[in-house]
Structure 1
């Protein structure tokens, strides 16, 4: 078949790019080796949120007395049913993508896609049959997978990655989570909430190390209160999984310790899926596991583009989607602005949630800014008190000279739904005083953004 565009990979980068291309009049096909929606819909963002919601409901039941409600007996986790619900949610979302493909008249080609010379894509189906398709433009959106370390080889049963963590046959009594980024912390919170003994091991000095230091320290305090053991400045040297329990040898600044656990979850990031897709044969340039692209995702080879986890930038679903849209609109000849990677929100969906965008306080100082910092704790929020969710805060950072909104860092109930306000404000170049004078509804969690801005300028009312 001949197409205007073929997209290899149907994750949130690939399928979004395909839909936008179809909207712009391009005859489009998408190649997928497993399930439409990619890792995000099937084994990542979506099913993990379903697991986390089950954990939240269980916590509500266990603390119902705090809200004046008595429940006879004790809440019990049906682990199999929790996993089944998560899989059903993922399956429903994947079917939704199938519908979108049909609605937008996009051809879905199931199989493993590979570049095969100028404008050609070879697709090997599950039954081994091979077909070749042609396109003026080809977008690579092959995503990533759980990264492995030599000291932490995954066997899929006792030493696992995120994919196995959301589909275990039974709930483990104990778990060591290696890595405290979003994936590690979300699974640590989920399993701890339903009764698994969890230890988090982090190589760096703070958990969620990309976040502002106040958030990292605040979240560590909260998770420790919930019963999660946290070991920072620590490295897993080896794992002996030959016995009934894994023996995890951990190097700390006070010497080596051995922790036993039923399961070890490796959550140390992702590796890009670049193998076997024809990059070397066609001559597409890569560096350190990433495809080299320009600001509009064009590679060094005419007609070949790359987006998502396999290129520079944050490995996040919403980043991949934005890149796919930007890439396709540029191909179609529209006027497009390059993505500002310093205005990408990051979210971690544990409880309390974490959300942030822009400069941390440390990064703003290192960039040479004189800054104004404001902080508003949810303990002073009427809505947070009413919701029984007083843990956390909103922290905002402004340039002292011009009032530029440099960054925001949040920890608390539902803050992942609040961060978009700051992303939009920064996009529109709002100043600190613009935020202060934007009337926020009361009582809401979101008015903490206004209050934090007021605190930065010495105008805060409710502190």
Structure 2
């Protein structure tokens, strides 16, 4: 089986890389050990959004009286919620199957291991092996849930995100260790369903990569929602010998023992780069990632690496762009693409967290901008002052913008509130086009919308606010 390009992994980096390579006229094979679409479509981005939507619908129905509608006997069928989530994932995975056929990409199911330059050995589920050959190999093997030495996952009482999506029944109590996107999203899902949730975060604030104001607002909203939040705290050990779990948690003021039915470890992910032949081929790695240049070439010619196993942000949209760029660079090498792909700007990548309220951000935080030496203009517009948010009963949160005081460049945008993950793209495109604050102010934003909060926050930054 000989190809021009072999893609190892079919997640949100791998399958776009394969499609783009096929569009450029290459013969392409994609190797997948489990399900097309990878973790994102099957056990990550997509099914979690289905769970979150069910949780949000349940919250709406419990508070329907706020909208003048009386709904009685509202109950959450936990198993049905899980079933719907799995159905959404299955549908999306089938969609990738269609895309592979449409683009004439051969799918080879099994575990791929690089055996030589241009050769991958694929071991099928039944143990049979076959060799797949190709001039170029794109490594897109993704990542898995990270395990801490003192928080070993047993899949029953100490679980990762994968088990959290398919628990047979709703736990009465849960400890979530880690408050990144995975941790706070599952915290909201389970708390909304009636689980008593405690978040334990090692750093001084939750969602620690976000602007400090965002962290404070989410913690305030979560505490109001009934979620207990412990920061500057670490799980030292867990005891699973009883009916539930006892977690010893070290805080600044001493040590406490927390009891729960289950502990969800959400302390991050680790790249899947072991046992795929990288060491034997001499492909350079560093800090658990494959070392690549701006075109995703590894230290060994003919090998590329993208997505979670490369150094960029571990986000689906990052992986997709990296995969397309890698395919286009191969196309440029083979004179099937006219120019080198544009290098990715990793300081203009939007980050989205789909808890309630949602979080979306791009660019510098206020602290990072000041640390970088910028004199800044900062504007914040609360949704409580938004007509659309008030009408929708969604007044939590705000939009915060940071501008360079000297030239008016949009340095960063940070949002927390309903549907802000749909709003952040304006800031991403604005930054890409080097738009200034005055251009945002002079661009008509529709009223009444949540999105006009971007303009309103900019008006606050420039001392021209009329609605607050």
Residue number in structure 2 paired with 1:229:
228
Deviation at 1:121, TM superposition (A): 1.0
Residue number in structure 2 paired with 1:391:
396
Cα distance per residue 1:220-242 (max 9 Å; x no partner)? 00010000000000000000011
1:155-174 matched pairs, under 5 angstroms: 155-174=154-173
Residue number in structure 2 paired with 1:77:
76
Is 1:379 the counterpart of 2:379? The answer is no
Deviation at 1:297, TM superposition (A): 0.4
Counterpart Cα distance in 1 of 2:464 and 2:210:
26
SS in structure 2 of the partner of residue 249 of structure 1: strand
Cα distance per residue 1:416-460 (max 9 Å; x no partner)? 000001000000110011111110000000000001011100011
Residue number in structure 1 paired with 2:7:
7
Residue number in structure 1 paired with 2:37:
37
1:407-446 matched pairs, under 5 angstroms: 407-446=412-451
Is 1:290 the counterpart of 2:295? The answer is no
Counterpart Cα distance in 2 of 1:413 and 1:78:
24
Deviation at 1:74, TM superposition (A): 2.6
Counting matched residue pairs gives 462
Residue number in structure 1 paired with 2:406:
401
SS in structure 1 of the partner of residue 447 of structure 2: coil
Counterpart Cα distance in 2 of 1:228 and 1:407:
29
Counterpart Cα distance in 1 of 2:286 and 2:313:
16
1:311-322 matched pairs, under 5 angstroms: 311-322=310-321
TM-score by length of 2: 0.98
Cα distance per residue 1:115-142 (max 9 Å; x no partner)? 1111111111111111111111100000
Counterpart Cα distance in 2 of 1:339 and 1:100:
25
Counterpart Cα distance in 1 of 2:172 and 2:390:
33
Counterpart Cα distance in 2 of 1:417 and 1:447:
12
Residue number in structure 1 paired with 2:336:
none
Residue number in structure 2 paired with 1:336:
341
Counterpart Cα distance in 1 of 2:440 and 2:250:
46
Counterpart Cα distance in 2 of 1:324 and 1:437:
36
The list of structure 1 runs, each at least 4 consecutive aligned residues, that deviate by more than 3 angstroms after superposition, is none
Residue number in structure 1 paired with 2:152:
153
Counterpart Cα distance in 2 of 1:113 and 1:241:
36
Question: Once structures 1 and 2 are overlaid, which stretch shifts more, 328-337 or 15-24?
Answer: 328-337
Counterpart Cα distance in 2 of 1:145 and 1:368:
37
Deviation at 1:100, TM superposition (A): 0.2
Residue number in structure 1 paired with 2:352:
347
Counterpart Cα distance in 1 of 2:59 and 2:266:
24
SS in structure 1 of the partner of residue 236 of structure 2: strand
1:62–1:74 Cα contact (<8 Å) kept: no
1:358–1:407 Cα contact (<8 Å) kept: yes
Counterpart Cα distance in 1 of 2:254 and 2:435:
49
Counterpart Cα distance in 1 of 2:44 and 2:344:
24
| Unaligned ranges ≥5, structure 1 | none
1:375–1:394 Cα contact (<8 Å) kept: yes
Deviation at 1:376, TM superposition (A): 0.4
Deviation at 1:335, TM superposition (A): 2.8
